[in-house]
Amino acid sequence: MDHDPDWQRLVSRLKAAKTVKVVQYEVGDPITKDDREILKVMEAVPPPPPVMRLLEKANGLKLLWNGSPGGHAVQGSINILPLVQSALRAGATEESAPLEGVLWNDEYAPAIKKQLQEMAIFEALAGRSAHLTYRVGDKDARLFLVDDDRIEALVPDFVTVIGLIERFGGADGLREHLVHADWKDRLAKDETLQAIAAL
């Protein structure tokens, strides 16, 4: 992975800011042999190489913070799922199909439902029914913002997205900027995000 995120450095930076309060921070240990064995036993498809490389160093991450950097009220969160949870793609109940009732349901249009059935969750966005997902088997791990039955591809590649999530602490609104071709301009013009980056 070209960008190796330092989650502890991000949390230290947020904690050092007088205008920010870190509410929760949990980072998982690296992937274990047991994690890999569970995938084999359950016949789950492992995540794509970029996701695996990220999880090999930190198997899941939860960060929740709020504050007013630069005088702008904002909150941020990062909720990257651990390997086993992402790869097993569990439904809402034991009898559910993969991610049924979590990412899709039978009320969705057939074309949308089919797309969502081919995905796994990378990140669950706090306080919303939205997720960052990837297609199972996509070696590049192109990420999608899924909000109910709306699916939007993120423009930057996986490594760039991770770098931006780290830089801006997973701030609210960040991922929505990344579905636009002019995402760099949008980030540069977002005063709140720039205040977070300057912490």
Instruction: From 121, 147, 152, select the one nearest 134 (Cα to Cα).
Output: 121
The pLDDT tens digits for 86-98 are 999 998 898 899 9
If you average pLDDT over residues 160-172, what whole number do you get? 96
Provide the whole-model pTM.
Answer: 0.93
Rama region for 16: left / alpha / beta (φ>0; ψ in -120 to 50; rest): alpha
Give me the pLDDT at residue 171, please: 96
The pLDDT tens digits for 38-72 are 999 999 999 999 999 999 989 999 999 999 998 98
Instruction: From 132, 99, 143, select the one nearest 117 (Cα to Cα).
Output: 99
pLDDT value at 84 more than 60: yes
What's the N-to-C CA distance of the chain in angstroms?
25
pLDDT value at 182 more than 90: yes
